[in-house]
Amino acid sequence: MAVNGDKQTYGRVIVTYGRSLMSLVAAQSLARRGLHVIGCDSVDMTALRFSKFCSAYFVHPDPKDDENAYIDALVQEIERARPEDDNPYVLMPLFDNARLLARRKADLPDYIKLAAPDIQSINCVYPKDRLVRSLTELQEFAPESRIIEGQSDIQAASADLVFPLVLKPAVGVGGRGVEFVDDKEQLQQAYQKVSEEHEGPFILQETAEGEDFCMTAIADHGEVRAAMAYKNLDTFPKKSGAGTVRETVDHNSFMEATEAILKHSNWTGVAEIDFRWTGEESDPPQLIEVNARFWAGLYHSMASGIDYPWLLYQLTAYEAISESTTPVIGKITRTPVLSTMSMISSILSRSFRFPVTRRMIASGWRLIGEGQRREGLHRIWRGLKGAFTFDKAAFTALEKMEQSKNAPTEFDYASDPYAGLGILFILSSLRRHGRLPDELKY
Q: Strand 89-92 to strand 113-114: parallel, antiparallel, or no bridges (unpaired)? A: parallel
**DSSP string of 138-159?**
SGGGS--EEEE-SHHHHHHHHH
- What is the percent of the chain where pLDDT is above 70? 76
CA atoms within 13 A on the CB side of 341: 12
Sign of CA dihedral 45, 48, 49, 52: positive
Question: d(Cα 159, Cα 165) in Å, to the nearest integer?
Answer: 12
Sign of CA dihedral 174, 169, 71, 433: negative
Residue 339 in this model has a pLDDT that exceeds 70: no
pTM reported for the whole predicted model: 0.80
Question: d(Cα 210, Cα 218) in Å, to the nearest integer?
Answer: 25
Looking at residue 38, its pLDDT comes to 98
- List, for residues 110-138, the tens digit of each pLDDT value: 999 999 999 999 999 999 999 999 999 88
Sign of CA dihedral 93, 99, 100, 106: positive
Residue 80 in this model has a pLDDT that exceeds 80: yes
- CATH placement of domain 211-339: 3.30.470.20
Question: d(Cα 271, Cα 119) in Å, to the nearest integer?
Answer: 13
CA distances from residue 135 to 124, 138, 146, 261, 264 in whole angstroms, order as listed:
9, 5, 11, 8, 9
Mean pLDDT value of segment 406-424: 63
Class of domain 2-116+412-440: alpha beta
DSSP 8-state secondary structure symbol assigned to residue 206: E
How many other CB atoms are found less than 10 A from the CB of residue 68?
11
| Of residues 340 and 147, more confidently modeled | 147
Mean pLDDT value of segment 75-100: 96
- What is the percent of the chain where pLDDT is above 90? 63
Measured in degrees and rounded to the nearest 5, phi and psi for residue 393 equal -65, -40
- List, for residues 10-64, the tens digit of each pLDDT value: 799 999 999 888 999 999 999 999 999 999 999 888 889 989 999 999 999 999 9
Confidence of residue 387 (pLDDT cuts 50, 70, 90): low
How many other CB atoms are found less than 10 A from the CB of residue 201?
16
| Of residues 105 and 172, more confidently modeled | 105
Residue 91 in this model has a pLDDT that exceeds 50: yes
Per domain, the residue ranges of the chain are 2-116+412-440, 144-206, 211-339, 347-402
Measured in degrees and rounded to the nearest 5, phi and psi for residue 167 equal -115, 130
DSSP 8-state secondary structure symbol assigned to residue 410: S
Ordered alpha helix ranges (H), 89-224: 97-103, 119-122, 128-135, 151-160, 184-197
Looking at residue 166, its pLDDT comes to 97
Question: d(Cα 71, Cα 75) in Å, to the nearest integer?
Answer: 6
Mean pLDDT taken over the chain:
84
User: Same fold for the domain at 2-116+412-440 and the one at 144-206?
Assistant: no
Confidence of residue 403 (pLDDT cuts 50, 70, 90): low
Residue 163 in this model has a pLDDT that exceeds 90: yes
Confidence of residue 331 (pLDDT cuts 50, 70, 90): very high
Contact assessment for residue 300 and residue 410, using Cβ atoms and an 8 Å cutoff: no
Mean pLDDT value of segment 381-386: 65
Question: d(Cα 89, Cα 111) in Å, to the nearest integer?
Answer: 7
Tell me: cis bond preceding 201? Omega within 30 of 0 counts: yes
- List, for residues 247-285, the tens digit of each pLDDT value: 999 999 999 999 999 999 999 999 999 999 999 999 999
Calculate the CA dihedral of residues 263, 269, 270, 271 and round it to 10 degrees.
-40
Question: d(Cα 262, Cα 249) in Å, to the nearest integer?
Answer: 21
Question: d(Cα 439, Cα 193) in Å, to the nearest integer?
Answer: 23
3-state secondary structure 299-353: HHHHHCCCCHHHHHHHHHHHCCCCCCCCCCCCCEEECCCHHHHHHHHHHHHHHEC
Question: d(Cα 85, Cα 89) in Å, to the nearest integer?
Answer: 10
Is residue 100 exposed (0-12), middle (13-18) or buried (19+ Cβ within 10 Å)? middle
- List, for residues 218-238, the tens digit of each pLDDT value: 999 999 999 999 999 877 655
Confidence of residue 303 (pLDDT cuts 50, 70, 90): very high
- CATH placement of domain 144-206: 3.30.1490.20
